[in-house]
């Protein structure tokens, strides 16, 4: 799980969110509406927006994000998170505890966890630490 998440609001410009993702070297931005997880904007969403011909400096995140994204908890077994991501075609999955976003797990995180240790049943998301 990567704990250094980029946060945007639905009104953030796509260009600004994309620039923050590039600067932080991450592939997603968590979209918050006040204290609630409203969505996630991924590099694929930014690519779709760019390919549409939309002016990314004038288009807001709400127009391109995935609203109300599926999430997992820090206690979710790695295998369960991987299955959710595989079944739905996700590359990034928010990790939420209560109403607080704790991080984002990515495909890279799952591969790194698999390479670092032999998988065991019940290994939780937070067991690998932050990358």
User: Is residue 32 in a domain?
Assistant: yes
Q: N- to C-terminal Cα distance for the chain? A: 7
Q: Return the closest-CA partner of residue 61 out of 78, 81, 45.
A: 45
Q: What pLDDT is recorded for position 125?
A: 58
Give the max Cα distance, the chain.
47
Question: For 5-23, b where at least 16 C-beta lie within 10 A, e where not — what string?
Answer: bbebebebbbbebbeebee
For the whole model, what pTM was predicted?
A: 0.81
Q: Which domain holds residue 88?
A: 6-128
- Is residue 1, in this structure, part of any structural domain at all? no
Show the tokens assigned to 68.
Answer: 């109300």
pLDDT digits (tens, 9 = 90+) for 67-116: 999 999 999 998 899 999 999 999 999 999 988 899 999 888 887 777 76
Please state, in angstroms and as integers, the Cα–Cα distance from residue 49 to each residue in 41, 53, 56, following that order. 11, 7, 7
Q: Is residue 12 part of a domain?
A: yes
- CA distances to 19, 29, 57, 65, 124 from 76, rounded to whole Å, are 31, 21, 37, 24, 5
pLDDT, position 78: 87
Question: Which CATH number covers residue 10?
Answer: 3.10.580.10
pLDDT at 75 (0 to 100)? 93
- Whether 70 is in a domain gets the answer yes
* pLDDT given for residue 112 in this prediction: 78
pLDDT tens-digit readout, 12-39: 999 999 999 999 999 999 999 988 999 9
């Amino acid at each position: 799980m990567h704990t250094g998440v980029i946060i945007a609001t639905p009104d953030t410009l796509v260009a600004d969110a994309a620039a923050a993702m590039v600067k932080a070297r991450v592939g997603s931005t968590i979209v918050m509406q006040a204290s609630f997880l409203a969505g996630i904007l991924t590099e694929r969403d930014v690519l779709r927006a760019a390919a549409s011909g939309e002016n990314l400096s004038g288009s807001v995140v709400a127009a391109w994000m995935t609203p109300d994204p599926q999430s997992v908890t820090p206690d979710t077994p790695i295998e369960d998170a991987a299955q959710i991501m595989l079944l739905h075609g996700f590359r990034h999955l928010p990790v939420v505890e209560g109403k607080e976003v704790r991080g984002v797990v990515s495909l890279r995180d799952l591969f790194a966890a698999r390479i670092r240790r032999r998988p065991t049943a019940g290994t939780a998301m937070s067991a690998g630490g932050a990358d």
